[in-house]
Every structure is written in structure tokens, then in C-alpha cells.
Amino acid sequence: MREEQPCPRCGGTGWVLDASPGSAAARRCPCVGEKRRAALLERARIPRRYRACSLDNFELHHDSQRKALELSRLFVDRFPDQEAGLLFIGPCGVGKTHLAVGVMVELIRTRGAACLFYDFRDLIRDIQGAHAPESQLSESDVLAPVFQCDVLVLDELGARRTSTWVEETVFYVVNHRYNNKKLTIFTSNFLDTEEEGDLRNPYFKKEEDTLVDRIGVRLRSRIYEMCVLVALEGKDYRRVVRHDAHRERLAKKKRS
């Protein structure tokens, strides 16, 4: 490993002397906070694709996005004096994950909060993996950071079909945070209705699964107690951007 250069401001002591003549006071060097924030960001496990996401670079193309951004900012402003987390719901590509990451980054930067990003499927996979006989990690190794972090982002809730075991496990995790008054932010692409579709009824026609179908009534109701619902609408950002870029290229071609 490369030896780190000591901070030029404090020489690595973490303290700088007050510059005013005759003063012997010392104060914390800014590098202490910088290092702490860098470590928090590293530990937050934000996926590479979302590293650049912030609340400041979230664009507003729809009224629901304006509202969602407001609620995200409010969440950061109130931290840690709020009871409820956030549940971002909406179609693909409207910026749910972007906002959830934006909140994390802002909390790390301004509050020094310990945040953790987990994809729903990865969490299940990691917990299941811990039960495999050859696993180096125990279930509690996997769950410790999930339980302990100040703010957990659980992305793509319901993105995987659950079994009773998975449902129980995820309920246990979410409930543990709830009981310990820990904040959780969820995102989900699933349509949300209160009723569970009766899959045994052959006359019940439904195009797609709802969130309840995916995570069960009990977990959904717990999440509703824990979170403010933030519904997002709009076009798939990835497609719109690609489309606009394409149009621009065509226009340029015409002009030349």
C-alpha cells in the first residue's frame, strides 16, 4: 500500500495552531472531517453508477419530481429528528435511486451520518450466502452494518420473488430497524395497492405483480408505518436523454 502523505496543514497531527499572534489555541484541522467523510462514503457502498448523484444535480421534468426533491431535502434538514423514513415508488428511470443516493451523500457531507446502500436482491443473496456451509461470513457479520447504520437505503424492494423464508428474513431486518428507531429509505418499481391479488382465483386477471404480491402484506404495512410515501412519475430518464441526444445529432447534421 502506498504510504499516505501527511496533511500539509497539520503535519498529520489533526490540530492546527491559531494564527493570531500570542495565541496558543489549537483547533481541529479540516482534514479530520474530510477523512471521516471520505471513510463514510467508502463504507456507504454506493454503486459506481450512482456515485455522481446528488440532490443538486437532480433535474425536474415532472411535478412529482419537484415534490420528491422537496421531501428529500426536508428529510436531510430534519435529520436525525424525524421518525419516518422515505418510500420512493414509481416506474423505472424516474430517479428513485438517484434521490435515495442524493440523500445519503448529503447526510454524509453535512451530518456525518453513517449510511449504507443495499440492493434488495443483494441483501437476500448475502444473507442466504452466510448460511452456506463454506461461507466465511456469519449472518450477523452481514447484518451488523445493516442494523447499525444511521440510514439504510434498501433499493428495488420486491425486485426478487420472495419465499416465506425471504419474507421472514426481510421482515426481521426491517422490523429490527423500526424497533430501534433507525431510519430506512426504500425504493420500488412496483405498483402499490393495498390488496393482495388473489392468485388462486382464475378469474382474477392482473397484468403485473404489485408490491404486496412481492413482499407480503405484513412487511408492506410495517413499511407504511415507517415511511413517508413519495410517489414519482415521469418518463424514463435514460430514454429521454438518449432520445434528446439523438435529436440533437440529427439537427446538427442537417445544419452542416
Q: Which residues bind Zn ion (CB under 5 A)?
A: 7, 9-10, 29, 31
Q: Nearest to residue 128, comparing CAs of 173, 188, 96, 84?
A: 173
Question: Among Zn ion, ligand ADP, Mg ion, none, what does residue 93 contact (CB within 5–8 Å per kind)?
Answer: ligand ADP
Question: Among ligand ADP, Zn ion, Mg ion, none, what does residue 59 contact (CB within 5–8 Å per kind)?
Answer: ligand ADP
Nearest to ligand ADP of 206, 238 (CB atom):
238
Question: Among Mg ion, Zn ion, ligand ADP, none, what does residue 115 contact (CB within 5–8 Å per kind)?
Answer: none
Nearest to ligand ADP of 106, 178 (CB atom):
106
Question: Among Mg ion, ligand ADP, Zn ion, none, what does residue 10 contact (CB within 5–8 Å per kind)?
Answer: Zn ion
Cell, residue 70: 422537496
Nearest to ligand ADP of 94, 183 (CB atom):
94
**Residues that bind ligand ADP in the complex, under the rule CB under 6 A:** 53, 58-59, 61, 65, 92-98, 187, 237-238
DSSP states of 32-80: HHHHHHHHHHHHTT--GGGTT--STT---SSHHHHHHHHHHHHHHHHTT
Nearest to Zn ion of 33, 80 (CB atom):
33
DSSP states of 87-128: EEE-STTSSHHHHHHHHHHHHHHHH---EEEEEHHHHHHHHH
Kindly give the pairing relationship between strand 85-89 and strand 227-231: parallel
CA 122 to chain centre: 13
Question: Among Zn ion, ligand ADP, Mg ion, none, what does residue 79 contact (CB within 5–8 Å per kind)?
Answer: none
